[in-house]
């Protein structure tokens, strides 16, 4: 691979990752957690999709392909086998701070009520000392900003900080929505990857339409309504066609089935 292709590919991945990272940050997922998942995926894909004919993919080969150490490859393979992720969760660190604020005698007052804390104090309990004691290396200011953002902490009229909740609950998604999110993005990228080494017209169908110079803002609702009407009609037509084929032919037991479909989406660029 030439340097220009490598740089172009990395630039494309940077664009791809921007909305994904936005979702992660909004959901309270840290870089460390994401990096651990990425290591696991590198090992998983290298072992599954880059094996040699009639030969089991070794730890050494995976290490060469991925750039990870043999020790790290072994660790990630163990994670894959166990189905667990070995991460120091940002969620756990924030939770530990809130728990400490409610239970640690240093930061609670009479009847065990959490104290209102100044951000920093050389002589008494403070928010900064709470964070240093209960979250490891998390920066106190960054922790405070996050807790205020999610409504877990507020600043009082005296300038101190008051904890409002005991549990840290970042924006949540329904499990079904999370599964759909992963499948939709995966399916689209799989199609694009499949088409990258195919001649025009030989790959899977993938087209895009966009307004060359953008669309006037006042036209956005009308365009959205048009897309919904035409898009749904198109998808229903395809669904009916598939149903007709299934009804017209006798499906044999054990016959190979291929997961396939079409996705239609409306994009509005923020980048």
Query: pLDDT (tens digit, 9 = 90+) per residue, 176-231?
Result: 666 677 788 888 888 887 888 777 778 899 888 888 889 999 999 999 999 999 99
pLDDT at 155: 95
Within a domain: 24: yes
The answer to whether 63 and 73 have CB atoms below 8 angstroms apart is yes
Mean pLDDT of the region 244-258: 73
Count CB neighbours of 191 within 10 A.
Answer: 15
Range of the domain at 141: 90-163
Domains of the chain: total: 2
Within a domain: 143: yes
CA atoms within 13 A on the CB side of 184: 10
Final residue of a structural domain among 114, 131, 163: 163
Mean pLDDT of the region 9-32: 85
The answer to whether 137 and 150 have CB atoms below 8 angstroms apart is no
Final residue of a structural domain among 35, 70, 86: 86
pLDDT at 192: 84
Tell me: do 8 and 79 sit in the same domain: yes
pTM: 0.54
Helices (H), ranges, the chain: 3-26, 31-49, 59-66, 70-82, 90-103, 127-134, 140-149, 175-196, 220-248
The answer to whether 118 and 160 have CB atoms below 8 angstroms apart is yes
The answer to whether 144 and 161 have CB atoms below 8 angstroms apart is yes
247 pLDDT band, cuts 50/70/90, is: low
Final residue of a structural domain among 163, 185, 209: 163
More confident residue, 87 or 151: 151
In the predicted structure, residue 250 carries a pLDDT above the cut 60:
yes
Tell me: do 49 and 109 sit in the same domain: no
Which of these ranges, 30-34, 44-48, 64-68, 175-179, has the smallest mean pLDDT?
175-179
More confident residue, 111 or 156: 156
């Amino acid at each position: 691979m030439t340097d220009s292709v490598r740089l172009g590919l990395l630039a494309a991945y940077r664009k791809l990752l921007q909305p994904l990272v936005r979702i992660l940050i909004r959901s309270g997922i840290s870089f460390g957690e994401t990096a651990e998942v990425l290591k696991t995926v590198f090992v998983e894909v290298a072992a599954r999709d880059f094996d040699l004919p009639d030969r089991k993919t070794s730890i050494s080969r995976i290490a060469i392909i991925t750039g990870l150490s043999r020790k790290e490859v072994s660790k990630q393979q163990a994670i894959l086998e166990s189905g667990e992720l070995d991460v120091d969760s940002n969620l756990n660190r924030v939770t530990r701070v809130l728990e400490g604020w409610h239970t640690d005698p240093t930061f609670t007052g009479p009847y065990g009520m959490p104290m209102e804390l100044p951000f920093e104090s050389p002589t008494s309990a403070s928010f900064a000392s709470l964070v240093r004691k209960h979250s490891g290396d998390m920066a106190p200011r960054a922790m405070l900003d996050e807790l205020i953002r999610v409504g877990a902490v507020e600043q009082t009229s005296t300038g101190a900080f008051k904890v409002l909740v005991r549990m840290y609950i970042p924006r949540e998604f329904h499990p079904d929505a999370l599964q759909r999110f992963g499948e939709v993005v995966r399916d689209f990228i799989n199609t694009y990857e499949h088409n990258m080494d195919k001649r025009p017209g030989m790959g899977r169908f993938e087209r895009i339409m966009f307004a060359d110079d953008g669309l006037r803002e006042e036209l956005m609702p009308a365009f959205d309504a048009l897309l919904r009407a035409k898009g749904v009609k198109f998808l229903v037509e395809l669904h009916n066609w598939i149903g007709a084929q299934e009804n017209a032919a006798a499906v044999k037991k054990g016959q190979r089935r291929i997961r396939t479909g079409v996705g239609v989406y409306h994009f509005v660029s923020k980048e």
